[in-house]
Every structure is written in structure tokens, then in C-alpha cells.
């Protein structure tokens, strides 16, 4: 049976412990929602002041050149590439995950249209993050070219879904609800064997688990910089394309920034070679610039150390919840096997919404997802083992005292 | 013949003069590029510090509710509506102008597909801002439904272009090069008479000229917040849809934020009623928040006063350039008639690129557009008549002394 002193001992031996002070977290808060919105790097405020004061206010339009605004999506992309097993020139930071799904899905369908035009099925999972499904539905509806969406669920396995009609497989690497993680190499290999291309949504994976896009044979990937990469609320997303696909197709969101020579002001779109053709319109420079603060911190840590601490914290969290809150109806939905999960842990509780609100009121910030799901993100860069202990103690107290059983904790907020 | 004292007298009588101090401009700079990137409101730095410090850093994920992040695109849209002749609930601030063109063009084509399916031509202008044309080309190429782009130019009039095949007319209200402005009511009326729907790109018009989207019969509009609205570099764009079209179509970039009930986490896209269905993915909250600083300043001014000062400054600028720089090969390309122009003035000069670099080196910041075009933005909120005088004096000196004729002014920067 573990004690809080055991946790303190783990913290004393933690190679990543020094990074916690590089983030600024409010006093009295144990933040277990870095899987939804990452914490603020201490450098963010100064960087924003520089972009707003010097780059915008003083240098004005000249900053497109002097502050490197034009190169920023690629410069940040090159840094991010190191965290996802990709190379320089293969990643851009731009737009939103939803929009980037549209771009890479369009590119993937075009490749299949050329090579295997009879394949008209886009495969995903019913419990994939909804926006992934919505973007697929929007494209199918818009194209009117006979595509259909096929969803893997309790009644349909991945293996069965990948039949001779499957054009593209779009999966989240780590599931936003359960935290379950796919084996990227195995699934990519299976998709290719069956003739499908594979798009990975890394929203809950980038910065959370070691990734090897190239080695694992992925075709396309998109992801988020404001969760485990700590880029700030709604910071621009990223997009990766395997070099073998990069220059073959002009994706339909073909704005000026993706043009081969945008300042020539030609009336005809001519896509840039390489990853830049996946850029579209003018990016939100201030939000984009702050992505670098989070990336620089992530790059200071070894992803293998991050993964080891993430798994150890999650193991600890699960063990403590299952022992210290054993009298309460909490059901673990995250896979126990290390290889099968990402960096957050989810439990079901019949009063999940109210329990989470009561936890938040006590300073333990996780989040809630319909139905009944309590999510706890375990972010190695700014959480300690003692934090995990303390969070479970507060959870236990909230449950033992039925502190959640109050009207104010049952009232749904606009955003859950 | 005007003198600098005449300009000072105009400034003394200027009802908008007090707004200049609400912006922070670098010393020694006369900023004539607010048509490309607006100046920085003094409130921007403090607002950014608040969003980064309190909303992100301290309140973290709770700010989706407590800081109103979820409502921000609509709240800002409602403010912006007052500047463009629209009503509450008709505008959102989101994504980029390029992406918003894609959304409204998709919606417009869907309406025509239902009502007049034989119309397959999208009409625009050859000298429209390139990204508008690129987005149309991307959509046509992607859809493979027989659409084509028809460009108005020296050989094809608007009247001739709007034939029985024309589905949609997409125009910039104010041309990014010449500053020429369309008569929105007349052109919208003509388009409707010919059976086409009309999309207005207001990038160079919003905040620059009075607009009356509803009264003038527009169908859709998009535009930019970082030019005359001073929202900050690359700040999110806006999108307006006439209420008569709003709820009829599901646009294809159908991400979570446009869902009727996004936190239900349904696997099926069900679009929100109203303008919110034109939202897609998570927005860059810091850049988005700063849009409000610029909007609040714009709303302090009466748009009729802004227009009167803009025209008076441009008349003065043209008169001074044509008299004091008369010996130099400068050709006005902006229409002289007030009703036919926006808020920037452009001259051709055979050495335009080098002339602009020499001007910038002397603190007069305008910009250059291929080929040969010098652009000067006249922004009433933070320019004085004396600024106009001083800018022309420096232009005259640069031309008289051939200060532009140096190798360093001929070397093209990455971004022009």
C-alpha cells in the first residue's frame, strides 16, 4: 500500500521534476486537464508582449520579413516534427485540427481516386472525436461522389471494416474518452495491406506519447498544439504529410499562403512544392507565436522519460482510486496495459458530471465527457506524484462526503 | 496651393483627431499601410496580458465558460455587424478570409444547385485578390461537378459575364491594388436580376467605408479584421450570411463548433441554427480576443465621419503628389470619383519597388504590389492631415534625390 511519502520519494527521483517550475499554475490547483488545454509556460507572457509590442506595434508590416512571420508555420513545424517522428520540411503549424483533417482527407481521396477509384468508403470509429466524423460527413455530403462513412464499433471490427471498398482509414491515435491507444505500426500496416491509406489524428497523442510517424508507415497526420504541447487556448494545429504523397495533389483549401510564389499575385493557383501547399490563409500570428513557448519546453524533455513518467503516474492514479475509493461506483475505462493507452485516465461514475464539478470546486481540475465520464490528464511536464496522491485524496473525500450531491454541481455549464 | 499650415488647420478641426492617441505607433513613422496591417490599439497589450495571465494561466479550462470563449465568435460578430450594415446574430469572427470564402461559396453553390442547377459558372475579376480566385479554383477542382471560373477583365464586362450560366458572383468590394470600389447595391441588384448570388469580400472595405450589406441586397460577405479593423497580425476573419440563406445549407467545413449541441458528442453532424453553423474548429483565443480592442475603437467613431476624413485625406494626398511630385513618372490608378474608391490610393511608378523601400527607410511605410504599384492606406483613426503632408514631402525628396536608386532598395524581400 502506497503512502504520500512514497510519492514524495518518486518526485525526488524524477528527472523531469525541474520542468514543473517552467509552467505557471494557479495556487491551490491540481491541474489534470492538460489533455484538453495545456498549462501556461512561464515564457508565454513575455513572448506575447514582444510580438504585440515590438513585432506588431513597432515594426508593423515589416515583421512579415524581420520577425519571420511568413516562415513561422514551417519553422514551428520543423520543431514539432522532432516530437512526432517526422523530418524537417514535413510539418506545418496552421489552421485548426478540423480544417487540417479536411485537407489531408481530400489529398488521400485524390490519391485513391487515381489509384483505386472503386474504393469509396472512409473508415473511422464511432467513438472517434466527433469533429473528425463531422469533417468526413461534410466532405462526403459536399462532394456527391458516392463516398460513405463506415464506423467501427461494437458490431464492426477494424479488420472487417477494411474491406475492398475502403479508401481511407481515419483514426485518433489516442481516444479522447477512454485514453485507449492504437498500435500505429500495426494498424497502418493492416490498412496498407488492405489497400487503404491512413490518417492519424494525434490530438491526444502529440507531446503525450512517443510517436514515429515515418517509421510506423503513416500516410498523413494532424493534431493539436494546445493540449499536451501547451501552445495556448486554441493555438493553431499541425499537419504532417508523408513525403511520398506530398507533391502529388493540390488540396482544395488552396489559399495564398500555399501558392508557389504568393507575392507574384498571379490569378492562377500554382501550389508550392512540399508541405507549404497545405497552408491556406493568413495565420493568427500572436496565437501562432506562442506555440513556440510550449514546443521549446517539450523539446527539453526526452519523450521516453515523459512516457515513463506518464505511465507511472497513471498506474499510481489507477491504483489509488481503486483502493482508496473502492466503495464508490467508479469503473475504469482506460486500458490497463501500457501499450494500449495514452496519457489520460478515465473512470465512469453515474454522477460523473456533478462529481467533476465538486472536484473542480476543490481545486482538482479534470473534465467530464458525456455520458458519465470523468477524465484525468496526467501531464509529466508539470505534475508531480504528490499531486496525484493529493488529487485522489480529494476525490475520495468528495465521494465519501457526497460533496457532489448539491444542486449547483448538477447545473450544466454552456461548455462541459 | 495648400500648405502644411492648411493641414494643421484641418487637424485642429478634425472630430476624429482624438482617436489617434488611442493607438500606439512608433516614433518617426508615418504609417500608410493600415490597409495591410492595422496599427496597434493601446489596449491590446493589457488585453493580451489578461487573456494569457488570468484566462489561460489562472482559470485554465474553466475560461471556456467564465471568460466567454465559446461565445466569442458571435459576441465579436455582433459588434462587427454594426460596422457593415448587418444585425446581431448574422456575423461570426472566425478562421481566415480564404476559408470563409470556401464556406460561403459552398453554401451559394448549394442554393443554386437546388434552384437553378444548370448554372455552373462562378464569376469574379481577374484582378481580384488572388486568394479569392485560388479558393474558387480549389473548390472547382475538388468538386468535379463541371463548375468553371469566369474572370471579368479588359475583354469581359460584368454585364456580359453575368449570363444565364452564372451561378455566383464573388467580388472584392474595394480592389486591393487600385482601391476602386464597386457600387454594392447596383452590382448586387444586377447579379440578382441575372439570377446569380453575390458574395462580397470586404477585406479592404470593412472599417474603411460605410457598408450596408442588408440594405444593398448582398447574399454573403467575408472580410478581414487585421486591416482597417486593427485586430492584430492575422487576427481571425469574419463571415456574414443574409438571414434568408442562413439555415438552408450545411457548409462542408462542418467542425464541432458549428454543431447544434457540440457537447452532446454525437457521432452525427447536426448544424446549429443560425450563423454558428459557419464555425468549424477551435479558434485561436488570444488572437481572437484582441479583435475586440480594434472593434471597440472603430465603434467609437461615426462611419460617416471616417468616410469623410478618408476621402479628404486621399484628395489631399492625390493633389499633393500630383503637384509637388509632378516631374516624376507617377500615375494615379485609383478612381478620382469619391463613390468609386475605398480608403487607399495607388500610384504606378516604373521603379515602384525601390521607391517604396526608400520611403520605408525614411519612415513612410506604405507597400508595394506587383507590378509597379505603390499603395498608400489612409486610415482616419490614426492619421492626421499633417501626416499626409509630411509623407508627400518625403516622397518628393526621395524622388528628387533619386534616393531609391540604390542596390539595397532593389533587393526583393521574401514578403513584399
**pLDDT tens for residues A149-169?**
999 999 999 999 999 999 999
Q: What is the pLDDT of residue B33?
A: 98
Count of alpha carbons within 13 Å of A267, Cβ hemisphere only?
10
Q: In chain B, what residues touch A283 (CB-CB under 8 Å)? A: 96, 234
Q: What is the three-class DSSP state of A89?
A: coil
Q: Assign residue B11 a region: left if phi > 0, alpha if psi is -120 to 50, beta otherwise?
A: alpha
Summarised one tens digit per residue, pLDDT across range B65-76 is 999 999 999 999
Last residue within a domain, chosen from A260, A280, A300:
A300
Summarised one tens digit per residue, pLDDT across range B234-275 is 999 999 999 999 887 779 999 999 999 999 999 999 999 999
Whether B413 has its CB under 8 Å from any CB of chain A: the answer is yes
Nearest chain B residue to A233, by CA: B285
The C-alpha angle A240, A258, A220, rounded to 5 degrees, equals 15
Summarised one tens digit per residue, pLDDT across range B95-135 is 999 999 999 999 999 999 999 999 999 999 999 999 999 99
Q: Are residues B34 and B10 in the same domain?
A: yes
Q: What is the pLDDT of residue A413?
A: 83
Whether pLDDT at B12 is above 90:
yes
Mean pLDDT value across residues B284-291: 98
Q: What is the pLDDT of residue B247?
A: 84
Q: How many domains does chain B have?
A: 2
Which positions 359-398 of B are in contact with A (Cβ < 8 Å)?
Answer: 360, 365, 367, 369-370
Q: Are residues B182 and B281 in the same domain?
A: yes
Cell of B27: 516614433
B375 is catalytic: yes
Q: Measuring CA to CA, which residue among B75, B387, B360, B281 is closest to residue A101? A: B281
Phi, psi of A104, deg, nearest 5:
-75, -30
Question: For chain A, how far is it from start to end, CA to CA, in angstroms?
Answer: 35
Rounded Cα distance, A245 and A114, in Å: 13
CB contact under 8 A, A226 and B62: no
Rounded Cα distance, B321 and B329, in Å: 11
Q: Assign residue A89 a region: left if phi > 0, alpha if psi is -120 to 50, beta otherwise?
A: left
Q: What is the pLDDT of residue A110?
A: 95
Interface test with A, best of B52, B68, B237 (most A CBs within 10 A): B52
A115 marked ligand binding residue:
no
Q: What is the pLDDT of residue A33?
A: 98
CATH of the domain at A75: 3.40.640.10
A204 marked ligand binding residue:
yes
Range of the domain at A200: 68-300
- Where b means 16+ CB within 10 Å and e means fewer, B164-188 reads ebbbbbbbbbbbbbbbbbbebeebb
Q: Are residues B294 and B344 in the same domain?
A: no
A226 is catalytic: yes
Q: What confidence tier does A287 reach under pLDDT thresholds 50, 70, 90?
A: very high
Q: Is B72 contained in some domain? A: yes
Q: In chain A, what residues touch B234 (CB-CB under 8 Å)? A: 69, 282-286, 288
Q: Which of A375, A385, A396, A409 is catalytic?
A: A375
> Rounded to an integer, what is the distance from CA B129 to the centroid of its chain?
11
Q: Are residues B144 and B289 in the same domain?
A: yes
Count of alpha carbons within 13 Å of B357, Cβ hemisphere only?
18
Q: Which residue has the cell 447545473?
A: A411
Rounded Cα distance, A381 and A379, in Å: 6
Whether pLDDT at A250 is above 90:
no
Rounded Cα distance, A347 and A334, in Å: 7
Interface pTM (ipTM) of the complex? 0.97
Nearest chain B residue to A280, by CA: B98
Last residue within a domain, chosen from B300, B330, B347:
B300
Q: What is the pLDDT of residue B407?
A: 95
- Where b means 16+ CB within 10 Å and e means fewer, A139-149 reads bbbbbeeebeb
Q: Measuring CA to CA, which residue among A216, A241, A204 is closest to residue A92? A: A241
> Kind and range of the H or E element at B124?
strand B121-125
Q: Which residue has the cell 512544392?
A: A273
Q: In chain B, what residues touch A280 (CB-CB under 8 Å)? A: 96, 98-99
Q: Is B250 contained in some domain? A: yes
- Where b means 16+ CB within 10 Å and e means fewer, B20-52 reads bebbbbeeebbbbbbbbbbbbbebbbebbeebb
Mean pLDDT value across residues B163-167: 98
Percentage above 90 pLDDT, chain A: 96
Rounded Cα distance, A190 and A194, in Å: 6
Count of alpha carbons within 13 Å of A324, Cβ hemisphere only?
22
Q: Which of B220, B226, B317, B385 is catalytic?
A: B226
Q: In chain B, what residues touch A142 (CB-CB under 8 Å)? A: 106, 143, 252
Q: Are residues B150 and B281 in the same domain?
A: yes
A201 marked ligand binding residue:
yes
Which positions 307-336 of B are in contact with A (Cβ < 8 Å)?
Answer: none
B129 marked ligand binding residue:
yes
Mean pLDDT value across residues A365-385: 96
Q: Are residues B125 and B24 in the same domain?
A: no
Which positions 152-211 of A are in contact with B (Cβ < 8 Å)?
Answer: none
Whether pLDDT at B1 is above 90:
no
Q: Which of A258, A265, A285 sits opposite B234 (nearest CB)?
A: A285
A129 marked ligand binding residue:
yes
Last residue within a domain, chosen from B280, B300, B320:
B300
- H runs (alpha helix) in B272-325: 285-300, 303-324
Q: Are residues B135 and B184 in the same domain?
A: yes
Q: Are residues A104 and A136 in the same domain?
A: yes
Q: Measuring CA to CA, which residue among A203, A210, A173, A200 is closest to residue A309? A: A210
Q: In chain A, what residues touch B49 (CB-CB under 8 Å)? A: 45, 48-49
Q: Are residues A359 and A380 in the same domain?
A: yes
CB contact under 8 A, B370 and A263: yes
Q: Are residues A85 and A137 in the same domain?
A: yes
Whether pLDDT at B412 is above 90:
no
Q: Which residue has the cell 523530418?
A: A87
A336 DSSP assignment:
S
Whether pLDDT at A416 is above 80:
no
A375 is catalytic: yes
Q: What confidence tier does B327 reach under pLDDT thresholds 50, 70, 90?
A: very high
> Can you say whether the dihedral through the CA atoms of A293, A297, A298, A299 is positive or negative?
positive
Give the number of beta-carbon pairs within 8 Å between A and B: 302
> Kind and range of the H or E element at A320?
helix A303-324
Q: What confidence tier does B387 reach under pLDDT thresholds 50, 70, 90?
A: very high
| Cis geometry, peptide bond prior to residue A216 (ω within 30 degrees of 0) | no
C-alpha distance from residue B237 to each of A17, A380, B103, B254 (Å): 41, 36, 12, 17
Q: What is the pLDDT of residue A308?
A: 98
Using only the alpha carbons of chain B, give its radius of gyration. 22
B396 DSSP assignment:
H
CATH of the domain at B367: 3.90.1150.10
A227 is catalytic: yes
Q: Measuring CA to CA, which residue among A373, A385, A394 is closest to residue A11? A: A385
Q: Which residue has the cell 495533389?
A: A249
Rounded Cα distance, A236 and A299, in Å: 18
Q: What is the pLDDT of residue B413?
A: 83
- In residues, how long is chain B? 416
Q: Measuring CA to CA, which residue among A104, A264, A288, A284 is closest to residue A197? A: A104
Rounded Cα distance, A192 and B294, in Å: 50
Query: What's chain A's average pLDDT?
Result: 97
Summarised one tens digit per residue, pLDDT across range B298-315 is 999 999 999 999 999 999
Nearest chain A residue to B36, by CA: A61
Summarised one tens digit per residue, pLDDT across range A156-208 is 999 999 999 999 999 999 999 999 999 999 999 999 999 999 999 999 999 99
Q: What is the pLDDT of residue A37?
A: 98
Q: Is A59 contained in some domain? A: no
Nearest chain B residue to A134, by CA: B269
CB contact under 8 A, B60 and A31: yes
A317 is catalytic: no
Q: What confidence tier does A346 reach under pLDDT thresholds 50, 70, 90?
A: very high
Cell of A280: 491556406
A180 DSSP assignment:
B
Rounded Cα distance, B124 and A332, in Å: 57
Mean pLDDT value across residues B34-61: 98
A43 marked ligand binding residue:
no
Rounded Cα distance, A393 and A168, in Å: 45
Q: Is A286 contained in some domain? A: yes
CB contact under 8 A, B95 and A98: no
Phi, psi of A392, deg, nearest 5:
-70, -35
Q: Are residues A131 and A265 in the same domain?
A: yes
CB contact under 8 A, A253 and B138: yes
Phi, psi of A344, deg, nearest 5:
-130, 160
Q: Is B192 contained in some domain? A: yes
Whether pLDDT at A350 is above 90:
yes
Q: Are residues B23 and B107 in the same domain?
A: no
Q: What confidence tier does A59 reach under pLDDT thresholds 50, 70, 90?
A: very high
Cell of B274: 443560425
Summarised one tens digit per residue, pLDDT across range B130-155 is 999 999 999 999 999 999 999 999 99
Q: Assign residue B68 a region: left if phi > 0, alpha if psi is -120 to 50, beta otherwise?
A: left
CB contact under 8 A, B60 and A263: no
Torsion, CA B351, CA B353, CA B356, CA B362, rounded to 10: -90
Q: Residue B146's CB: how many other CB atoms inside 10 A?
A: 8
Q: Which of A40, A227, A341, A396 is catalytic?
A: A227
Q: What is the pLDDT of residue B297?
A: 98
- Which one has a higher pLDDT value, A261 or A414? A261
Q: In chain A, what residues touch B269 (CB-CB under 8 Å)? A: 130, 133-134, 137-138
Query: What is the residue-wise DSSP string for A342-382?
Result: -SEEEEE-TTHHHHHHHHHHTTEE-EEETTTEEEEE--TTT
Mean pLDDT value across residues A310-335: 98
Mean pLDDT value across residues B67-95: 98
Whether pLDDT at A249 is above 90:
no
Amino acid at each position: 500500500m502506497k503512502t504520500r511519502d512514497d510519492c514524495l520519494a518518486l518526485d525526488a527521483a524524477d528527472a523531469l521534476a525541474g520542468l514543473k517550475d517552467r509552467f505557471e499554475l494557479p495556487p491551490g490547483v491540481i491541474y489534470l486537464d492538460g489533455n484538453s488545454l495545456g498549462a501556461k509556460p512561464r515564457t508565454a507572457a513575455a513572448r506575447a508582449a514582444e510580438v504585440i509590442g515590438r513585432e506588431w506595434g513597432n515594426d508593423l508590416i515589416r515583421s512579415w520579413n524581420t520577425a519571420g512571420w511568413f516562415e513561422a508555420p514551417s519553422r514551428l513545424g520543423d520543431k514539432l516534427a522532432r516530437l512526432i517522428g517526422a523530418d524537417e520540411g514535413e510539418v506545418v503549424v496552421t489552421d485548426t485540427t478540423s480544417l487540417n483533417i479536411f485537407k489531408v482527407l481530400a489529398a488521400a481521396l485524390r490519391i485513391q481516386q487515381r489509384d483505386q477509384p472503386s474504393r469509396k468508403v472512409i473508415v473511422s470509429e464511432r467513438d472517434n472525436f466527433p469533429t473528425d466524423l463531422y469533417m468526413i460527413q461534410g466532405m462526403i455530403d459536399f462532394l456527391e461522389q458516392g463516398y460513405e462513412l463506415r464506423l467501427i464499433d461494437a458490431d464492426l471490427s477494424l479488420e472487417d471494416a477494411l474491406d475492398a471498398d475502403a479508401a481511407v482509414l481515419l483514426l485518433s491515435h489516442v481516444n479522447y474518452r477512454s485514453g485507449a491507444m492504437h498500435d500505429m505500426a500495426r494498424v497502418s500496416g493492416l490498412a496498407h495491406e488492405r489497400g487503404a491509406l491512413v490518417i492519424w489524428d494525434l490530438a491526444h497523442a502529440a507531446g503525450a506519447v512517443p510517436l514515429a510517424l515515418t517509421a510506423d508507415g503513416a500516410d498523413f497526420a494532424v493534431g493539436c498544439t494546445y493540449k499536451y504541447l501547451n501552445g495556448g487556448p486554441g493555438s493553431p494545429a499541425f499537419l504532417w504529410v508523408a513525403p511520398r504523397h506530398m507533391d502529388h495533389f493540390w488540396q482544395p483549401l488552396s489559399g495564398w499562403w500555399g501558392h508557389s510564389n504568393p507575392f507574384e499575385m498571379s490569378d492562377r493557383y500554382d501550389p508550392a512544392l512540399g508541405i507549404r501547399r497545405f497552408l491556406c490563409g493568413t495565420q493568427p500570428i500572436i496565437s501562432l507565436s506562442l506555440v513556440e513557448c510550449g514546443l521549446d519546453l517539450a523539446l527539453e524533455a526526452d519523450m521516453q522519460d515523459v512516457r515513463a513518467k506518464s505511465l507511472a503516474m497513471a498506474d499510481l492514479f489507477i491504483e489509488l482510486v481503486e483502493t482508496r475509493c473502492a466503495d464508490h461506483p467508479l469503473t475504469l475505462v482506460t486500458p490497463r496495459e501500457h501499450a494500449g493507452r495514452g496519457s489520460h485516465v478515465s473512470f465512469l461514475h453515474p454522477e460523473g458530471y456533478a462529481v467533476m464539478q465538486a472536484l473542480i470546486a476543490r481545486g482538482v481540475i479534470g473534465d467530464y465527457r458525456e455520458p458519465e465520464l470523468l477524465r484525468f490528464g496526467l501531464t509529466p511536464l508539470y505534475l508531480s506524484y504528490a499531486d496525484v496522491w493529493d488529487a485522489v485524496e480529494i476525490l475520495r473525500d468528495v465521494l465519501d462526503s457526497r460533496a457532489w450531491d448539491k444542486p449547483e454541481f448538477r447545473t450544466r455549464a454552456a461548455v462541459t
